[in-house]
Amino acid sequence: MEVAKISSKGQITIPISVRNKLQLKAGDKIVIFEENGRFYFENSAMLAFKRAEEAFAGEAEKAGFRTEEEMQEYMKEIRKEVRGIRLRVMLDTNIFISMIFFPSNQTRELAEKLTERHQIIVCDYVVEELRLVTDRKFPAKRKFLDCFFRELPFELVYTPKTISMEDFPDIRDTKDLPILATAILENVDVFITGDKDFLVLDVDTPDIVTITDFLKEYS
């Protein structure tokens, strides 16, 4: 048995042994419920998963899904139906190069679709790559690149400082791993790239596509 003291503000410190058993950490939520005059509490997240498991037990099989892979494939079909929904779309460095340095009707259409319908996601790694290219090859144009990123409506995400290769799909060029890891960890919906090393990867999320594929599937 553990004893805890209530503060003047009604706060209670849960003993560390109890926190460890319930897998509770700072910031976690707990659920308090009453049963026959006694009060109990549980880890809110773990309880949510437990209730979901119980509620959906056997439902996949009843719906005709024989394996998890079959349901994952069904989810890919559902993803194709969200064309009218605002998606978080991350752009690779080579896409920005195409849009800025080699603009075409296709890249202009992409820019229009992205700004009108979706949320553009840019990782700091891509920004630094573009700045490095500009500083080395077009130093007089650096101020225009900075202006571009000030005016472009986008969500900036950050590449993790340390990356374990074992946690992510194998990719031929390991220098691409920071961008792949960012796209996966930030849970973006779509990653647009022209790099074949990305396009051959088999990942559930994000959907890795070319500009052509994006305009075809998500317009």
pLDDT at site 56 = 87
Nearest residue to 120 via CA among 90, 95, 92: 90
Q: Specify whether the CB–CB gap between 92 and 123 falls below 8 A.
A: no
Tokens coding 49: 């998963």
Q: Are residues 111 and 35 in the same domain?
A: no
Question: Taking residues 36-58, what's their average pLDDT?
Answer: 84
Q: Are residues 154 and 140 in the same domain?
A: yes
For 145, the domain range is: 84-217
Residue 129 placed within a domain: yes
Q: Specify whether the CB–CB gap between 90 and 121 falls below 8 A.
A: yes
Q: Are residues 161 and 212 in the same domain?
A: yes
pLDDT at site 2 = 75
Read off the pLDDT of residues 137-150 as tens digits, 9 standing for 90 and up.
999 999 999 999 99
Residue 9 placed within a domain: no
- The count of domains in the chain is 2
Packed helices 93-101 and 105-117: angle between N→C axes, nearest 10 degrees: 120
Pick the last residue of a domain from 44, 78, 112.
Answer: 78
Longest dimension (CA), the chain: 75
Q: Specify whether the CB–CB gap between 165 and 177 falls below 8 A.
A: yes
Read off the pLDDT of residues 98-142 as tens digits, 9 standing for 90 and up.
999 999 999 999 999 999 889 999 999 999 999 999 999 999 999
Three-point CA angle 43, 48, 50, nearest 5°: 95
Mean pLDDT of the chain: 89
Q: Are residues 138 and 65 in the same domain?
A: no
User: Residue 145 sits in a domain of what CATH number?
Assistant: 3.40.50.1010
Q: Are residues 30 and 103 in the same domain?
A: no
Cross-strand pairs, 182: none
Read off the pLDDT of residues 69-81 as tens digits, 9 standing for 90 and up.
998 888 877 766 6
More confident residue, 132 or 82: 132
Q: Are residues 90 and 69 in the same domain?
A: no
Tokens coding 101: 């340095």
Residues 178-200: b if buried by 16+ CB within 10 A, e if exposed: bbbbbbbbbebbbbbbebeebee
Lowest mean pLDDT among 41-45, 93-97, 131-135, 190-194: 41-45
Q: Specify whether the CB–CB gap between 129 and 98 falls below 8 A.
A: no
pLDDT at site 21 = 82
Token match 């090393």: residue? 197
Q: Are residues 107 and 198 in the same domain?
A: yes
- pTM assigned to the model: 0.65
Q: Are residues 125 and 71 in the same domain?
A: no
Pick the last residue of a domain from 51, 78, 105.
Answer: 78
